[in-house]
Amino acid sequence: MQKFFSHSFARCFQPLFGAACAVALALTLGVAPAEATTKSKTASKSSASTKQAPPKAAGNSKAAKSGKSAKKVSASGGSKARASTSRGNSVARVAASTRSKGKATVSAKRSVVRLPAEPARQSFGQLYGLHDTQDPLSLKSSVAYVLDQDTNEVLISKNSQAVLPIASITKLMTAVVVSESQQSLHEVLTISQDDVDTEKGSSSRLQVGSQLTRGEMLHLALMSSENRAANALGRHHPGGLSSFVAAMNSKARQLGMHDTRYVEPTGLSSQNQSSAQDLATLVKVAYNFPLIRELSTSAEYQVSIGQRQLNYHTTNRLVLNPNWDIGLQKTGYISEAGQCLVMQAQLAGRKLILVLLDSAGKYSRIGDAERIRQWLISSDMVSLGAGGRRLGVLNTPAAAPTVQSTVH
């Protein structure tokens, strides 16, 4: 009977005792009671069969090892096990942090996209093979032309008949048409949205709404190659911009510039094209306007826009060079045209017109002008006088059979 009651009592209180153990184990392990119950049952079975240590905490293998040691050592060994567990947790946190940083680093590296550099756009002269043309002066410009202003004697001719984009050399014709229109130079013009460059996206310090006189606009267009000023000059022409461009082309035909065509007054469009021979004609005509000579060779200029003062400078550094006596000049550049330069200058006692087109390099047009000047002022050239000297006939590459290149 006593054994019966003992067995019945054990069966009745065993579930309550198991639940109490589960709660105690949950508090110890920091897990949910349901999970602790499962772990308790597992632990009981494991303890009854193999007498192994309690199960390890989730994700902590070092704690499991310390639990095994706790079964074999004294209370002091248990404290060491708890210390080991603490260290294991710290190691786990450091490892997790390192993995997190590593993932962040990988993510950051993957977000960097390196695009290949866009190749430089070739000029028309490069596409036509004009840069293959050799000359005794080793000029970097694929087109060169030097003309005696008084005698019309050609001293240098390299691909002078090639028709190419002329960039801001266009503004010389713009200045000629403005000068011949006899409009007041004191009339105030306003920069509008129509003057903003949509062809090349070039910038300008003349903001929309800026007001300057026609004379100031012409000054900036010739000296600093200011595109918005040049477009505003054409837009304020009688009949508007289309009428102005028609006047530019009419003047070219009148001057016999049969290789020349204009579509706008700034030169930003590659459809503005001409030949070196035609441009020499334009320089000779533009030189007849004292205002164009003065403004194009100005070194610097200041304009007032509201309360702001804007300082502008020449785009041709040869203007500042005491070795040069320049009477008129204009520079130009767009990628299709390369670096361009036209000038009227007095060299070796002669008034000469220089045209350099499609020069490959930021400063190469200046270098070419210096090479020509050195050749012109050499002792052999001076001793021969106006007759000059013959440097030889240049070979024209097969890629451009219609282009003639000679130097006299």
Provide the annotated active-site residues. 168, 171, 225
At a CB cut-off of 8 Å and minimum separation 6, what does 184 contact? 214
**Furthest-apart CA pair in the chain: how many Å?**
148
At a CB cut-off of 8 Å and minimum separation 6, what does 266 contact? 168, 170, 171, 174, 197, 227, 230, 231
**Are 303 and 212 a contacting pair, CB within 8 Å?**
yes
Three-class DSSP category at 390: coil
Helix (H) or strand (E) segment spanning residue 64 = helix 61-72
Structure tokens at 224: 């600093």
**Are 320 and 299 a contacting pair, CB within 8 Å?**
yes
**Are 70 and 81 a contacting pair, CB within 8 Å?**
yes
User: Which string of DSSP letters, residue by residue, matches 81-149?
Assistant: HHHHHHHHHHHHHHHHHHHHHHHHHHHHHHH---PPPPPPPPPHHHHTTGGG---TT--SEEEEEEEET
**Are 302 and 309 a contacting pair, CB within 8 Å?**
yes
Reported as half-sphere exposure (CB side, CA atoms, 13 A), residue 187 has a value of 12
Q: How far apart are the first and last CA of the chain?
A: 140
DSSP letter assigned to residue 261: B
At a CB cut-off of 8 Å and minimum separation 6, what does 290 contact? none
CA-CA distance, 182 to 186, in Å (whole number)?
A: 11
| 332: β partners | 340
**Are 264 and 223 a contacting pair, CB within 8 Å?**
no
